[in-house]
Copies of this chain bind each other. A is one copy, B any other.
C-alpha cells in the first residue's frame, strides 16, 4: 500500500489497535531509559548544557513520527552530529555562551529547512556524493576524535580542539593536573559499561532470563552507572574533592525558542549546516533501510528528508539542537518491539516526564560517567575491518577513505567530509573521462569481434574497428577525439574507421560534437567514419542530429556486416572509395 505523500501517519494510523499499543509502550519505556543518560552526554559533547539533550529528544521525535516513513527510527541527539555541532557553533562563539546556544538553534533550523527543501525538490540523490568508504572513514575518524575529547572528563583535566593534534597536545599539557577521584569514577564507569555491553547479557541468560529480555535489560546498564556514580558523589562528598558534576538542571518542559534571523550568522553556518544535514541524512537512512527491510517494509528517502527536516525545525523551536536518526536507539526500539512511530511519541512523553521530575536527582551526576557513556558508545563506531576489505577490493576507494580519515583527524570534521567527497568525485570523473576501449578484429571463421591484444583475430590495415565500452558523454568526449585521432595517425593506410557502439548506452551533445569532428577530420584525411551496433535509443537520438546526414561512411546493424561488406566493396570496386550513391549513410537502417 502506498502511503499518503507528505503525511505518512495517514497510512499506518488507520490500523492502530491494542496489541500494537502495548508493543509500542514497552519499546518506548526501554528506549526512554536508554535515552536519558545518552541525551545528557551528547548535549555536553556538543558543548551545550545537559538539559538541551533532553529537549532535543522530545518535540523532534514527534515531528519525525508525523512526517517520517520509518516505523522504528528513533530520532534525537547522536554522537557524530553533536561533534559537528560543536565544531560549527564554536567557529562563531565560545561553547557555554548564550551566542553558542543561539548558533546551535540556527544550525538546527537551517539544517531542517535544507532537509525539507531537498525532500520537496527530490534532491536526495545529492547524498549519493557521500560514498560508502567516505562515510565509513568519516564515522571512524569522528569516533576517535570524540573518544579522545572525552578523555579529559575521565582524567578530570581540561583540553580542547576540533581535531586530533590540538586535542592530544592540550590533553598532554594538562596531564599533571589529573584528578584522582574523577579518574577512578571515569575508569570504573568505562569498565562497567564495557562489561555491560559484553558480559551482562550472557550472565543474565545464565541466571535464567530469556535471551531477548536479557538483551534489553543490558541496554539499561548505563542507567545503573548513572545511579551508582551519582550516589557515590553524594555519599562520599566527592564534589569537594574536585569531581565535576552536571550541576543544577532546570526542571521544565522544553522552552519555546526562536532561531535568530541574522543574515551574517546564517551565511557563516550555511555550509556546516549542509554538511551536518547530509551526514545525518545518510546515517539515518541507512539505519531506517536496514530496519524496514527486516519486515519487508519500505522507506521513502525523499520523504525521510522531510521527516528529518521537520525534526530539526522542531528542535530549533523547542530549545534543542541538530538531531538525526540514531543507530543504537533505533535498533533497541526495533528489538523491543516498536511497531509504529507512536512508540516514538511515547518515548517523547517519557523524556518529558524525566525533564520535569527527574532532573533534580541528576545534579550530582559526575561528568566522568557521562564521558564514559560516550566513549563506550563511540568506540563501537570505530571500524577497523572495513578499511582492510576496501584496501583489498579497490585502491581508489581506499584512497578516498584514507583521505577522509586523515583530513578529519588532522583538520576536523568539515574539511574531512569535503576532502572525501571531493576526492571521490575527482576519482570518479577521472575514470569516467578515460573509459575502456579496444581495437577489435574478427575471430577467424566466426562473426565475433574481439580485442586484438587478447585474441588472434583478422584485421585489415585499411579498416580499423574501435569498440568503446562506455556511454559517450562530455566527460569522455575529448578523450574520444584524442584516442581516435591518435589511432588514425598511427594507421597510415586507414580508409575506413568503424566505431563499434554495442556498449554505448547514451551519446550526449558533447560526444555527438566529437563524433562529428572525428567525421570531418577523417574526411580531411580521406577516410570514412562508420558506426556499428548502435542501440535503439541511441539511434533514436542520432536521428534528430545532423550526424547521419554528414557521415562519410554509414551506420551498420552489425559489426560483422560492416567489416565484411566494406572489405567486399574495396575488393570489388578496386577503389578505396565507398560508393555513397549505392551504400548511402542510412541505406540499411
Contact = CB atoms under 8 A, between A and B. Distances in A.
Given A131-B509, A505-B470, A509-B393, A517 B290 contact: yes
Contacts of A524: 293-294
A317 B479 CA distance: 34
Number of copies of chain A assembled together: 2
B545 A489 contact: no
A94 interface: no
With most chain B CB atoms within 10 A of its CB, the pick from A125, A469, A546 is A125
A474 B131 contact: yes
Interface residues on A, range: 35 or more
Interface in A419-450: 424, 428-430, 433-434, 436
Contact of A510 (B131, B474, B492, B512): B131
A381 interface: no
A127 interface: yes
Interface in A189-234: none
B290 A508 contact: no
Contacts of A129: 429, 475
Contacts of A290: 517, 521
Interface stretch (A58-66, A162-170, A480-488): A480-488
A429 B128 contact: yes
A296 B545 contact: no
Given A475-B428, A489-B298, A541 B394 contact: yes
A389 interface: yes
A319 interface: no
Given A132-B477, A394-B509, A397-B510, A433 B125 contact: yes
A453 interface: no
B489 A132 contact: no
A93 interface: no
A473 B400 CA distance: 14
The 3 A-B pairs with the shortest beta carbon distances in the complex, nearest first, are: A131-B474, A293-B521, A132-B510
16 contacts: A128-B475, A131-B508, A132-B514, A133-B510, A290-B517, A293-B485, A293-B524, A293-B525, A294-B525, A296-B492, A301-B482, A393-B545, A397-B509, A398-B509, A424-B474, A469-B505
